[in-house]
Amino acid sequence: MPSKSRFCPISRNTLSLFTFLFGLTLLSGCADSKSVRFKINSVPKGAHVLYQVQGGDMPCQGKWVYLGNTPLQGVQQFDEDQLEDADKIILRIMHNGYHDQSREWAGESFWQEIEEKDVIFWTPELIRNKE
């Protein structure tokens, strides 16, 4: 006769619920962080979207970070204090055969736009190179 275990096995659902709640607890500890939604289109579609943070204390400060191609809908995590201390946040759109376009904010004004609109929305009409 097999011996009965004193421990109750954990069901897959219980383990999934525990993992979800643990992850939620970790994320809630980041009170100064905010998920920033980007909705970026371009005319024509298919442009490359990058951002750069200049100044401040961001880990990738001064480096271009690739977000994807237009139409782009994405989320990026930022720290409020790091953004407010930044000198400039730049979004850049690049498409082969067209002039690059950029949009800039001071760190504090970028954070204010996020707080007011809950999304960074931009749809530039790209200008063709005449080369």
pTM score, whole prediction: 0.69
pLDDT digits (tens, 9 = 90+) for 25-49: 444 444 477 788 999 999 999 999 9
Provide the domain limits for residue 78. Answer: 33-122
Closest CA to 65 of 54, 55, 50, 87: 50
Task: For the chain, give the percent of residues with pLDDT over 90.
Answer: 39
Taking the CA atoms of residue 44, residue 45, residue 48 and residue 53 in that order, the dihedral angle to the nearest 10 degrees is: 80
Per-residue confidence (pLDDT) for residue 10, from 0 to 100: 52
- Total structural domains in the chain? 1
Query: Rounded to an integer, what distance in angstroms lies between the CA atom of residue 128 and that of residue 109?
Result: 30
Residue 91, pLDDT above cutoff 60: yes
pLDDT digits (tens, 9 = 90+) for 60-81: 778 999 999 999 999 888 777 7
Is 129 among the domain residues? Answer: no
- Asked if 76 contacts 67 with a C-beta cutoff of 8 angstroms, the reply is yes
Is 87 among the domain residues? Answer: yes
Could you identify the residue written with the tokens 């005449």? 130
Is 75 among the domain residues? Answer: yes
Is 112 among the domain residues? Answer: yes
